[in-house]
Amino acid sequence: MARVVLFSGAGISAESGISTFRESGGLWDRYDVNVVCNYDSMQKNEAITIEFYDKRRADLEDKEPNYAHDVIADLKEKYPDDIAVITQNVDNLFEKAGLKHEDVIHLHGFMTEVRCQNQQCNKIFDIGYKSLYDAHNGFCPRCGTGFRPNIVFFGEAVPMYEELNRQIQDCELFVVIGTSGNVVGVNTIAQYVQRSILNNYEPSPAIEDALFSKVLYKKATDAIEEIAEEIEAVLESR
Ligand code: NAD
């Protein structure tokens, strides 16, 4: 279990040119999330759902990690056992910054992966930036069932939340970067841990910032050095 938990959302990738969800813009504006991100999207709206994720996957190819991803990757490399990098993001910018995929806990799935829809099989394939249909023609080579994006849709269970709960058990510092707090309730976690930092570009109605030990309303790339200093201070303190 980690001494420091770094919990991020779409805001950390905003400066890399990937649009956030609530602030919208880009791809999100052109699709209805209730049509393409719902638990029954693959049953009711398969073609448009696959098209949406194909476009988001392709959109990632030329995106580069920013300074905040880079600093976090360096910290994780320096303190591999003491820091947990947990993200709601489905992009691969922490991995592009140098972290191994297994060292990043992606709560809501991973955009470059597809998953067999047969629950008994459930095999996952990393298809890079390709269309789902171009990966084995869209069908699992093991059992022949169709693929789906390996993304957690609204209304689906999120098995990785157990891992988040496990990591915060003994956490000395909980750092939140770039999330509106609408999906994961960071207020509760801030009340539970000894010390916490909130970094968002602006206040969010879903986050009670008085619950945090330190609040930084600025861009993640402007806040990350101060955050890194606090993390090092905690980790060097014993
Ligand atoms: P959100 O869009 O609801 O909130 C974004 C937050 O980031 C806001 O509070 C905003 O103030 C802050 N922000 C914007 N620019 C910032 C910057 N430069 N520096 C620091 N903070 C900044 O995002 P969310 O809370 O992560 O929830 C959206 C859901 O959609 C998540 O479940 C996520 O899986 C998904 N999503 C993922 C990506 C991605 O993978 N990059 C992108 C969009 C949405």
What pLDDT digit, counting tens, does each position of 48-85 carry? 999 999 999 999 999 999 999 999 999 999 999 999 99
The CATH number of the domain holding residue 34 is 3.30.1600.10
Residue nearest (by alpha carbon) to ligand 1 atom 25: 179
Q: Tell whether 137 and 172 lie within a shared domain.
A: no
Q: Tell whether 131 and 215 lie within a shared domain.
A: no
Please indicate whether residue 108, judged by its CB atom, sits closer than 6 Å to ligand 1.
yes
SS3 149: strand
Q: Which of 151, 173, 202 is the last residue of a domain?
A: 151
pLDDT tier for residue 24 given thresholds of 50, 70 and 90:
low
Mean pLDDT to the nearest integer, 97-106: 98
The dihedral of CA 93, 97, 99, 105: what is its sign? negative
Q: Tell whether 196 and 176 lie within a shared domain.
A: yes
Q: How many domains does the chain have?
A: 2
Q: Tell whether 68 and 169 lie within a shared domain.
A: yes
DSSP E strands, 109-188: 109-116, 124-126, 147-151, 173-177
Residue 177 C-alpha to ligand 1 middle, in angstroms?
9
* Pairwise CA distance, residues 154 & 167, whole Å: 23
Q: Are 196 and 211 in contact (CB under 8 A)?
A: yes
Which of 108, 179, 182, 219 has most ligand 1 atoms within 8 Å of its beta carbon, as the pocket-test mutant?
Answer: 179
Note the pLDDT of residue 30.
82
Residue 199 C-alpha to ligand 1 middle, in angstroms?
12
Q: Tell whether 119 and 46 lie within a shared domain.
A: yes
Please indicate whether residue 65, judged by its CB atom, sits closer than 6 Å to ligand 1.
no
Please indicate whether residue 38, judged by its CB atom, sits closer than 6 Å to ligand 1.
no
Check whether 97 has a pLDDT greater than 90: yes
Q: Tell whether 179 and 70 lie within a shared domain.
A: yes
- Atom of ligand 1 lying closest to residue 21 CA: 2
pLDDT tens digit string along 180-194? 999 999 999 999 999
pLDDT tens digit string along 141-167? 999 999 999 999 999 999 999 999 999
Average pLDDT, the chain: 95
The rounded percent of the chain whose pLDDT value lies above 90 is 93
pTM: 0.96
Q: Tell whether 54 and 119 lie within a shared domain.
A: yes
Q: Which domain holds residue 34?
A: 19-59+110-151
Residue 143 C-alpha to ligand 1 middle, in angstroms?
36
Q: Tell whether 84 and 190 lie within a shared domain.
A: yes
Please indicate whether residue 183, judged by its CB atom, sits closer than 6 Å to ligand 1.
yes
Q: Tell whether 139 and 197 lie within a shared domain.
A: no
Which of 20, 154, 180, 198 has most ligand 1 atoms within 8 Å of its beta carbon, as the pocket-test mutant?
Answer: 20
Q: Are 182 and 22 in contact (CB under 8 A)?
A: yes
Mean pLDDT to the nearest integer, 6-11: 97
